[in-house]
Chain A
Amino acid sequence: MTTAAPPGRWEGAGVTLDEVLARLADLRCPPDGGPPYNRTGVLTLLAHATGAGEAAALDGVIHDLADHQPSRSVLVVEEDAGRGIDAAVSLACRDAEGGQSVAMELVRLTLRGPARAGLASAVVPLLRVDLPTVLWWPRAPEDGHPALEALAGLADRMVTEAGRCARPADGLRALAPLAARGRPAATDLAWAAITPWRQLLAQMIDPPALAALRSASSVAAVAHPEGPATAEALLLAGWLRDVIGAGLMVELHGRPVDDTPLLAVELEGFAAGRRLIVERLPGRSSAAVVVVEPGGASRRRVLPLPRPARAHLIAGELELQRRDRPFERALPHAVALAGGAGA
């Protein structure tokens, strides 16, 4: 997919939503008077930023996302200073499969001072009717946060980043009651990030192995970088506990390596004395997978283990429109393990 030249951009301070919508409509009409650009008809992505710095970072990710999904992205920025609404609207055209040019819209709304109280009312007119709305809350959720409450009420799905706090376990703890509510369906980017790990482990655990893991005294050791357990490590451990059962003993431990939030997983007990070790190769998109047989013989293979970028992870989230039941089951286990591990 290639990028065509952006057809336009508009911004204004102290604007009304009617103006924003009118400018969007203007931008959709090409300067040569031809028919309006086709718009993608997929979903609205809502993202929330707490200041200009975070907004700039999200802006970059959303720009990278445009190849993947959203029809319209609405980035809501809350600023204490000033009053009223500032807006920046841009339209990017992409050449999709089949040579069609399709337009994606990005609206950045900055709500200043008292205008923040009307956050939901400012966003509603910008949601594409009859398309799903996905909220990206790029940090750990906080119970009772007014903007989170307001935006979650508009969304069909919510993607948090619970690991973006000093103690990721606290982030997961805060997310658990929201996820249990089910509306909007909640998920977390750390969960998305461990999808390749789960895919790899699911391949290695066939029905006899799973039966053995469930019946024996099995142990899972999950390694993360030194410091508090990462959300990725906790969620993977929680998933294993959910899949294998309460009898699984889980050990979380830090290593003096800071490559990715999840470094290695070792499973013991899926056949008498047999061990499976999956270890990410530093700096690479692959893992060494070692199966150690009871007699000590081992077989080592190097298998793909992608390291998706943040934009790629968000893009993956936008393709899912259902509740993610394995996540909803794994999360309470992760929270319980965080308590037990003192993470």
Chain B
Amino acid sequence: MSTIAPPEPAIDLGSRLVRTPQPVAIVIFGATGDLTHRKLMPGLYSLAAQQLLPPEAAIVGVARSELDDEGFRERMREGVRRHGHAPVDEDVWAGFARRLHYLPGGFDDSGVYERLRALLADLDADRGTRGNRLFYLATAPEFFPVIAERLGGAGLAEETDGGERFARLVIEKPFGEDLRSARALNTRLGQVFRERQVYRIDHYLGKETVQNLLVLRFGNAIFEPVWNRRYVDHVQITVAEDLGVGTRGGYYDQSGALRDIVQNHMLQVLSIVAMEPPARFESREVRDEKVKVLRAIPCFDDGSVAGDAVRGQYGAGWIAGEPVPGYRDEPGVDPASNTETFVAMRLAIDNWRWSGTPFYLRTGKRLPRRATEVAIQFKPAPHLPFTSTAVEAVQPNLLTLRIQPDEGASLRFLAKVPGPQIDLRVVSMDFAYGSSFLRPSPEAYERLLLDALLGDSTLFARWDEVERAWEIIDPLIAAWATTPGPFPNYEAGTWGPAAAEELIAREGREWRRL
């Protein structure tokens, strides 16, 4: 799989200066949508305020709404004001706004792409964008192949092999809805864009704490020797949300937790937790190691569908002292919906490092609290030389990596309770981002936008990773689609259906109480 290293900056930047992208025209399809408003435009504005957008950058919004440049700028300013993490600076905004342009039109209208080509040529001449393009598809997924093909038809997907001129395509999830549709989508994109041009965003990979997983594992010598089947009893990965589907009922009802969270975010996090050390923190090396992990996970089959996966759907209940409706009563949701809002599963990784160490994944909506974490549960000490009363409450070591909220890590270990007797108690050694670095982490989208502009695809999902993730869960999707679930089977505000407890209890383990 070919990659082109991003060009090195001309000047030694040292530890203070940050590498900035080459001049570029950023084209956002779906420019009046929620994602652009909430994430993309505040992220781009923040990059500009930090001097991280190249001076020659221009931004073109494409959407169906009839707007002119000024109208678009006003809307985007509102997005930055409401969703940016710092107040709008008039000076910065004035310069930033001048870079914003708008092109109205339907995504399947080839005339739009002719006008886009002419506008980009003007920007190359007037702003010095040098023929570099970054196309961001912030649209509904059915438009992905259409837009890509139209861009190809207009000659906008071409780039030079030497990297003098680039054309990159950034795609939001969902990348397909199952293995077949993902392959079909990839084939259509591949007819226009080469793999190295495609940046599949998984915003979890833009989170500081997920990247910190790599630093924790491969920047410290003490963890890696025990990061394997000999010392780790099992791993739990939890993505718990207390919210329901909100206004996304229509989308979510077609998707469900398996496609929305497990296939992408959770398998990406799992692959980082379980991967072998890459030789270098570079795109190809990191993604090669991640995909090896995914290939070592057996795909679901009839036996594991029945025994190693549990689905759930919430009924009415209580969250934070407030009554909340059941899933089937949410706006936009089919009253007889068979969509899962909860998934728990046991995955094996059949390689030397992890053979026999299960990975338990659990995600759901309307769980008691919002928490995303990875818990590495170590095996108990082989022998405790203390009296039985002292060891009653002994629990094995646990390393918890909190992704959100309250980002950080903690290590649980045993300590002696002060006093004349040898009494043992579990204590925790805690690292919290909030008390070690008193500056907020950058928004995941901001980081990923900058990486895409720089041509660094390390934190984006490569096609073989996406394909393998679909291969793993595809049989589960098929099985659940054809059999009605016992829904609703958990009350909002609880930790999911009883079957999830049974799944992990079968091997003498239990889910962490978060």
Listed in ascending order, the chain A residues whose CB lies under 8 Å from chain B are: 1, 38-42, 67-69, 94, 96-100, 102, 192, 195-196, 198-200, 202-207, 209-210, 243, 281, 284-286, 289, 299, 301-306, 316, 319-320, 322, 324-327
> Would A202 and B432 count as touching, CB distance under 8 A?
no
Residue of B nearest to A200 (CB): B51
Q: Complex Cα distance A322/B13, Å? A: 14
14 A-B contacts, Cβ less than 8 Å apart? A39-B435, A40-B436, A40-B438, A41-B435, A96-B438, A97-B433, A192-B16, A203-B54, A281-B91, A285-B91, A302-B91, A304-B92, A324-B14, A327-B14
How many angstroms from the CA of A289 to the CA of B128 in the assembled complex? 14
B416-442 CB mask vs A (1 if < 8 Å, else 0) is: 000000000000000011111111110
Contact of A302 among B11, B94, B436 (CB under 8 A): B94
- In the complex, the answer to whether A67 meets B7 with C-beta atoms within 8 Å is no
Please name the residue on chain A nearest to B99 by beta carbon: A301
* Docked complex Cα distance between A274 and B43 (Å): 33
Which A residues touch B434, using CB under 8 A?
Answer: 96-98, 100, 102
CB-based nearest B residue for A97: B434
Known pairs A98-B433, A198-B17 / 12 extra A-B pairs, C-beta < 8 Å: A39-B435, A69-B438, A96-B435, A195-B17, A199-B51, A205-B10, A302-B91, A303-B51, A316-B16, A324-B15, A326-B14, A326-B16
If the complex has contacts A198-B17, A304-B95, A325-B14, are A203 and B436 also in contact, measured as CB distance less than 8 A?
no
**What is the CB-to-nearest-CB distance from B209 to chain A, in angstroms, rounded to a whole number?**
11
- The A-contacting residues of B in range 186-208, CB under 8 angstroms, are none
Taking CB atoms, residues of chain A closer than 8 Å to B98 are 302
Q: Please give me the residue from chain A that is nearest to B48 by CB atom.
A: A304
- Chain A residue at minimum C-beta to C-beta distance from B441: A97
Least CB distance from A41 to B in Å reads 5
Q: CA A209 – CA B9 in complex, angstroms?
A: 12
The A interface is mostly helix, strand or loop, or mixed, namely: mixed
B-side interface size class: 35 or more
How many angstroms from the CA of A311 to the CA of B13 in the assembled complex? Answer: 23
- A324 & B433 in contact (Cβ 8 Å cutoff): no
Chain B contacts for A305, CB-based, 8 A: 51
A299-B98 Cα distance, complex, nearest whole Å: 14
Given contacts A202-B9, A202-B20, contact A98 B128 (CB under 8 A): no
- The minimal Cβ–Cβ distance linking B4 to chain A, given in whole angstroms, is 15
* In the A-B complex, the 7 residue pairs with the closest CB atoms: A96-B434, A98-B406, A326-B14, A210-B10, A102-B435, A97-B434, A286-B91
**Known contacts A198-B16, A203-B55, A324-B14, A100 near B435 by CB under 8 Å:** yes
Interface SS, B side: loop
Interface residues in chain B, defined as those with a beta carbon under 8 Å from any beta carbon in chain A: 7-18, 20, 22, 48-51, 54-55, 89, 91-92, 94-95, 98, 128, 405-408, 432-441
Q: Is the CB of A320 within 8 A of B16?
A: yes
Known contacts A205-B10, A210-B11; is-contact A98 B51 (Cβ 8 Å)? no
A204 to B98, CA, bound (A): 19
Q: How far is the CB of A317 from chain B (nearest CB, A)?
A: 10
Please name the residue on chain B nearest to A213 by beta carbon: B10
Contact A202 B11 (CB under 8 A): yes
Contact A100 B406, beta carbon cutoff 8 Å = yes
A97 lies within 8 A of B16 (CB): no
- Is there an interface contact between A302 and B95, defined as CB atoms closer than 8 Å? yes
Give the Cβ gap from B501 to chain A, nearest Cβ, in Å.
28
Chain A nearest CB from B188 CB (Å) reads 35
Contacts of A205 in B (CB 8 A): 10-11
With both beta carbons as reference points, the residue of chain B lying nearest to A66 in the complex is identified as B438
The answer to whether B51 touches A285, judged by C-beta atoms less than 8 angstroms apart, is no
Q: Which residues does chain B contribute within 8 Å of A67, judged by CB atoms?
A: 438
B-chain residues with CB within 8 Å of residue A100 when the two chains form the complex: 406, 432, 434-435
Contact A304 B405 (CB under 8 A): no
Cross-chain contact B92 with A285 (CB below 8 angstroms): yes
Q: What CA separation (Å) do A157 and B407 show in the bound complex?
A: 28
Inter-chain CA distance A243–B9, complex, in Å, is: 12
CA distance A301 to B432 in the complex (A): 42
Contact B51 A203 (CB under 8 A): yes
Interchain CB contact under 8 A, B436 and A41: yes
State whether B438 touches A98 (Cβ < 8 A): no
Given known A299-B128, A302-B95, contact A199–B18 (CB-CB < 8 A): yes
Q: In angstroms, how far is the closest chain B Cβ from the Cβ of A266?
A: 16
Q: Are B435 and A40 in contact (CB under 8 A)?
A: yes
Residue from the list B10, B128, B405, B407 in contact with A207, Cβ < 8 A: B10
Q: How far apart are the CA atoms of A67 and B125 in the complex, in Å? A: 44
| Chain B positions within 8 Å of A41 at CB level | 435-436
| A68 neighbours in B (Cβ, 8 Å) | 438-439
Shortest Cβ distance from residue B12 to the other chain A in the assembled complex, whole angstroms: 6
**Contact A97/B407 with A39-B435, A284-B91, A303-B95 known, Cβ cut-off 8 Å:** yes
| A306 nearest in chain B by CB position | B51
A202, A306, A327 interface centre (most CB from chain B within 10 Å) = A202
**In the complex, what's the smallest C-beta–C-beta distance from B437 to chain A, in angstroms?**
7
| Inter-subunit contact B16/A301 (CB<8 Å) | no
Rounded to whole Å, the gap between the CB of B373 and the closest CB of chain A is 13
By a CB distance below 8 angstroms, the chain A residues around B94 are: 302
- With A98-B406, A325-B14 already in contact, the answer to whether A289 and B440 are too (CB < 8 A) is no
B contact residues around A301 at 8 Å (CB): 55, 95
**Interface centre among A198, A209, A289, by most B CB within 10 Å?**
A198
A94 to chain B, nearest CB (A): 7
Q: Which chain B residues border A286 with CB–CB below 8 Å?
A: 91-92, 95
Closest to B12 in A: A326
Residues of the B chain whose Cβ atoms lie less than 8 Å from the Cβ of A289: 55
Taking the closest CB of chain B, its distance from the CB of A144, in whole angstroms, is: 30
A304: nearest residue on chain B (CB-CB)? B92
Nearest CB in chain A: distance from B399 CB, A: 18
Complex CA distance for A289 and B434, rounded to whole angstroms: 38
Q: Which chain A residue has the least Cβ–Cβ distance from B14?
A: A326
Per the bound structure, the CA–CA distance linking A62 and B437 in Å amounts to 17
Complex interface: chain A residues within 8 A of B14 (CB): 324-327
Which of B14, B20, B406 has most A Cβ within 10 Å? B14
**Chain B CB within 10 A, most for which of A98, A281, A299, A327:** A98
B439: shortest Cβ distance to chain A, in Å? 6
